[in-house]
Amino acid sequence: MEGAIGVAENGAIWISEDNISVRVSPFITKHLVLVLNKTDIVPTLHHAYEQIQSSDFDFGIVILGPSKIVDIEQSLIIGAQGALRLTVLLVK
């Protein structure tokens, strides 16, 4: 999948509906690989939201990497709401 906007401050990547063939695919895969152009990286999430708001999308998501939660028994669960591993390939 191709990311549309990358955020330097937290490593988030915005993916629009144009780059997702099946909307559920980023959530059900074990290993997610995203391709991001280096020129599409902005400094902060505020800059990313400015670009997103100026575009017309019906669907899009911000991917930050594997989720981590701890249940009541103090058991750590990684990847409970998405991929277990995220790999980002930066291209020119």
- Decide: 34 and 63 in contact? Cβ < 8 Å: yes
- Residue 70 reports pLDDT greater than 90: no
Please enumerate in sequence order all residues whose Cβ is within 8 A of that of 46, keeping only pairs 6 or more positions apart, or say none.
Answer: none
What pLDDT sits at residue 81?
Answer: 72
Its pTM stands at 0.78
- Decide: 34 and 20 in contact? Cβ < 8 Å: no
Looking at residues 74-81, what average pLDDT do you find? Answer: 75
Domains of the chain, CATH where assigned: 5-91 (3.40.50.10420)
Q: How far is Cα 92 from Cα 85, in angstroms, rounded to an integer?
A: 23
- Decide: 59 and 5 in contact? Cβ < 8 Å: no
Model confidence band, residue 37 (pLDDT cutoffs 50, 70, 90): very high
Looking at residues 66-70, what average pLDDT do you find? Answer: 78
Which of the pair, 56 or 3, is modelled with greater confidence?
3
